[in-house]
Amino acid sequence: MRLLTLEWTKAQPGVTRFIRSLILNREDAQDVLQEVALAVVDNFESYDPERPFEGWAIGIARNQLRAHLRKVYRDREVALDESVDRVADAFQRIEPEIGDRREALNECLRRITGTSRKILNLHYVDGLKPAAIGGEISKSANHVSVMLHRTRSILRKCVEKKLNREASA
């Protein structure tokens, strides 16, 4: 059970991104993610530790997504299976690079504090638009947009610097 917990904790963000790439509604994506988590637990004994866990979990997510999309689009003719397969294949190819970027971004995010951090959280975690964020922090929507732009620019430069440093090491 400990190995399952460790592997799922590492894989869950990537599985979530995969699901969110095909399901835009946050609540529906969460429902599918919960179904995936249950299927991962139910099928863990069939997992081959010689293979990447995240790829295995994305395979389960692929099946759960197909079931969800068939249910949602049952009265429409949509080539769902092929679309889900293509996205899953692309996801598995780029995930190692994304993992490096994610680690670098997490390190850079730790350096962002104060109002900039609050604005990032309100925008990216809570999903608020600049006008709503401005109401929360008593600033104009334009001011919030400028701060978001500047903070993203700082983060982008920090991530690039970390990735370049790792590549040359």
The domains located in the chain, with CATH, are 1-95 (1.10.1740), 111-169 (1.10.10)
- The predicted pLDDT at position 169 comes to 63
DSSP 75: T
Q: What is the pTM of this model?
A: 0.52
**Are 64 and 40 within 8 A, CB to CB?**
no
DSSP H/E element including 76: none
**Are 92 and 14 within 8 A, CB to CB?**
no
**Are 27 and 9 within 8 A, CB to CB?**
no
CA angle 89, 76, 62 (to 5 degrees): 25
- The predicted pLDDT at position 80 comes to 59
Confidence of residue 137 (pLDDT cuts 50, 70, 90): very high
- The pLDDT mean for the chain works out to 86
